[in-house]
Structure 1
Amino acid sequence: MPLSIVREFGPHLIEAKTPIFLSDCLSHVARELGFDHFALAYEPRVRFEERKSVLMHNYPAEWAEVYVSFDLAGQDPVRRACDRALLGFEWRNLAKLIPLTIGDHRMLAVGREVGVADGYTVPRHIPGEGTGSCSFVVGPGSELPRERLEVAELLGAIAIAAARGLAGLGQYHCKPALSDRQRECVLWSARGKTAAETAIIMGVTEFTVRKHLKDARERYNVHCGQTLILCALYDGLISFPDLLRWWNNLLE
């Protein structure tokens, strides 16, 4: 049964503490599911620049060399499609997610020539932190094991979570960068309120609001309100729903 593969390999993926162990485990998973290769990546965003990206694969050496030599990461249509998908997707459906250029078709054709014929990619996103993907790939002459793609979805998501852990993310022990009052001032600023309007809402003086915002900018070492708002969003101190729900309520 396909789900038995999840029960067999899921715990090992979750407990992976080293890149080598995770890579070996994914190699076994790919074979059990009927794929020939895998690729796993997790890329932290800007505010986590001290964290290292995670990348592992067992693609054919020729394709890996071409990919790196020509710096194809920035042109990869599969990577771009990950930004437009909530669930895993077959590569044959790329055109349903993004517009494919002549260069994209050429890149996919080169991949097929060197052993990367077709694949299924599982994307995951954490706004403000990073993006991850896990691809399971078949070589020329092989068909995707479509009856097992749901299992690939589950195990791919678990593998991305494991890669996130290897990148040093997922558990936070640091204190919030802003105080409660500073956070509240930033939130109202993000909602479009001036310092004077925020002061009325919060029941404090305009001077106090401006002081809170100034101190907040200093804590993040930024010099403008827009960047301060972005930093607070990145750190999870405010969220897009905090803004969208408030704006929607105004329109009702």
Structure 2
Amino acid sequence: MSDQLWLVPSMPSQEPAKEAFSVELGRFLEQTDGVARSEQLFDLLSAFALQHECPWIAYSSHSADQILKSVRRAPALMRYPDEWQEHYVQMGYDRIDPIIKKSRKELGAFRWSEAYNDVSTTEVERRFFDDAATFGLKSGVSIPLHGPGVGFAIMSFARPSCRELQNKTITYLQLAALHFHLRAARVVNSRCIEKALNLSLREQECILWAARGKSSWDIGVILGISENTVNFHIKKVLRKLDVTSRTVAAIKAASLGIIEL
């Protein structure tokens, strides 16, 4: 970036009083009460972020078959400039995204300028931030949301201004992001439970024996059906539980109380 925007972070911007933050956060929490769709929750969070001059917001999950993968299909929950999203894909930035890299190691929120200036950040990764700034994302903060599964989610807030967000602003954004993450996961989890309750008795039997370490051939002998039939039922279980392996399906079925190991 020609003006070295990320090398010398600008002074924090002037933000509303602490009381205003509390009122805004309280209103956001009230508005989300009873909301049953992740997209609606995201709309409310976007409105909350906009009050802090953060018009750009994105929520993405980075997991490989989490037991309860909260919004795994959702880089869809994103409000970044269309041009930047297209550029991101064209440049293959998903493979070197420094925000993802830093989020794997961080427990709390961090400013993008911190990631830019990190000694482990490469020149290619710094170009990512430089490019983002040219598309209007001139400063931002990202919040890693680690859970009990093997993956994690990231909530990012960005603004077209070079001014850094104050610490107290980041604290409130982090609280709102965590609330969104938990509520969204609960919404998706309830849908998983509804699907799981539709498992047939035979499907439950097959995944139970799979959970106990039996092969499809073993399960077929135990249940008196063919190996192909066992595989057919297992595939249906994978589809209903929205996972890609029988091991994860077994863990998920157990966590939902469908089977007992």
For the aligned pair, the TM-score class normalised by the smaller chain equals 0.5 to 0.7
Q: Does structure 1 residue 53 correspond to structure 2 residue 49?
A: no
Q: Does structure 1 residue 30 correspond to structure 2 residue 49?
A: yes
- The offset of 1:153, in angstroms, is 1.0
What is the number of equivalent residue pairs in this alignment? 194
Q: Give the TM-score normalised by the residue count of structure 2.
A: 0.61
User: 1:48-103: CA deviations, max 9, x gaps?
Assistant: 58984223122112111111233322211101111111111111112677721111
Alignment of 1:57-206 (within 5 A): 57-94=78-115, 99-168=120-189
Q: Give the TM-score normalised by the residue count of structure 1.
A: 0.63
Q: Which runs of 5+ in 1 are unaligned?
A: 176-212, 222-229, 238-252
Q: Which runs of 5+ in 2 are unaligned?
A: 1-18, 198-208, 218-246, 255-261
SS in 1 for 2:51: helix
Q: Is the 8 A contact 1:52 1:167 kept in 2?
A: no
Identity %: 18
- The offset of 1:142, in angstroms, is 3.9
Q: Which residue of 1 aligns with 2:226?
A: none
SS in 2 for 1:53: coil
User: 1:8-66: CA deviations, max 9, x gaps?
Assistant: 10233454322431232122111122323211123443255898422312211211111
Q: Does structure 1 residue 39 correspond to structure 2 residue 35?
A: no
Counterpart CA distance in 2 for 1:47 and 1:146 is: 31
Distance change (3 Å), C-alpha of 1:15 and 1:33: farther
- The offset of 1:3, in angstroms, is 1.4
Q: Which residue of 1 aligns with 2:222?
A: none
Which range moves more in the overlay, 23-32 or 99-108? 23-32
User: 1:206-245: CA deviations, max 9, x gaps?
Assistant: xxxxxxx997222899xxxxxxxx969x7698xxxxxxxx
SS in 2 for 1:16: coil
Q: Is the 8 A contact 1:39 1:57 kept in 2?
A: yes
Counterpart CA distance in 2 for 1:20 and 1:218 is: 40
Q: Which residue of 2 aligns with 1:3?
A: 22
